[in-house]
Structure 1
Amino acid sequence: MKIHNLYIKSLVTVFTVTLFFSCKSNFNEVQKIGVSEDQPIGVAEDINLKYTDSGRVTANLISPKMLDFTNRDFGYNEFPEGIVLHMYDELNQKNTVIADYAISYKETNLIDLQGNVVVTSHKKDTLFAEQLYYDQSDEWLFTNQPVTFRQGRDLINGNGFDSDSEFKKAQVLEIDGIITLEE
């Protein structure tokens, strides 16, 4: 009888330990129930988002629509109808970015701007491109696509562009030509 009770206790212990270690949290899977893999987890319309630092507006993002796919393994926000982004420096001088489409990747802090991209500095220097990347961490703009860069009276055409966000270190790559405009 004692051997039988010991056998049952051992069996119950093994069963309990097995159950304990085989259980896992399914919270993430439960959250995804009812959400199709192709669908965003959120949709925002008529966005007018203001970023502030110490009470001062540093950026203003305007977009007709944002799709939130941040629940994916490589999360992102998509702006299928374009963006207008105004950025303000410490002197409240405005730089503006306009694009027909944008996608912002959460993990890499990279923004991919596409279609009629125009970046204008407070000095009126202007970059025109069909695609441009912005590294938010380094505040750096770059592309290997054709660009036109207007700096002062010069219009510079080339294939590729590298610059800080304020155009202080702007460089047009593979220059095709420079046109100097009359005043």
Structure 2
Amino acid sequence: MACENDLEKIRDMQRTRLSVDEVKNVTSYLSQGGRMKAKLTAPLMLRYFDSVPRVEFPNSLHVDFYNDSMQIESYLDAKKAWYYEQQSRIVLTDSVVVIRIDGDTLKTNELYWEQNLHKLYTTKDVEIRQKTKTIFGKGFESDEQLKNGRIDSITGILLVGASKFAGN
């Protein structure tokens, strides 16, 4: 029995290895029209240059979103994310949380961000916490600022008593 190397298999393995960039402890800034819009931090970023070019964040990511006055207006956390540059689509999965500065919070296990359409959506279960209520549902769509959102199917509403916020 002899050991044989298939030259084409070796070349394929080298191409596969060379088609991924790895960056640890990433901090990246997104600007539009000369204004900073977001700051992304992640422990690991993988950029794939294969048939489906994409950027993967396999070990979590955090994003701070800024308004035109450079004040943070919302935060986003997810355990995993993928950015498909050609489609301008971001897919966030596993414990996705978006918190607006006013306290409104969206929780889901999957969220799509269509950057060209300026919208967020999911077909999965969602929980939206507001000062006076928590809304549970399935399916959600909103603008990027979470200001004009709608739940496809509301499955429950939990009202929060005013006394809880008054310290009583």
Q: TM-score, normalised by structure 2?
A: 0.82
Aligned partner of 1:104 in structure 2 is 83
SS at match of 2:14: coil
* 2:57 alignment partner AA: F
| Secondary structure at the counterpart of residue 51 of structure 1 | strand
The aligned residue for residue 34 of structure 1 is 14
Alignment correspondent of 1:75: 53
Instruction: Please report how far the alpha carbon of residue 63 of structure 1 lies from its aligned counterpart in structure 2 after TM superposition.
Output: 0.3
CA contact (8 A) 2:118 2:144 kept: yes
Cα pair 1:149 1:172 within 8 Å, conserved: no
Structure 2: runs of 5 or more not aligned:
1-11
Does the 8 Å contact 2:19/2:50 carry over to 1?
A: no
Output aligned runs, 1:114-129, within 5 Å.
114-129=93-108
1:79–1:102 contact (8 Å) kept in structure 2: yes
| 1:60-91 deviation per Cα after TM superposition (whole angstroms, max 9, x unaligned) | 0000001111x222211110001101110113
**Structure 1: 5+ residue runs without aligned partners?**
1-31
Tell me the residue number matched to 2:118. 139
CA contact (8 A) 2:45 2:55 kept: yes
1:47 equivalent in alignment to 2:26: yes
Asked if structure 2 preserves the Cα contact closer than 8 Å seen for 1:74 and 1:106, the reply is: no
Cα pair distance change 1:160/1:34, threshold 3 Å: same
Identity of aligned residues (%): 27
The answer to whether the 8 Å contact 2:93/2:110 transfers is: yes
How many residue pairs match? The answer is 150
CA RMSD of aligned residues (A): 1.9
Asked if 1:88 corresponds to 2:66, the answer is: yes
1 or 2, which has the higher strand percentage? 2
Q: Which has the larger radius of gyration?
A: 1
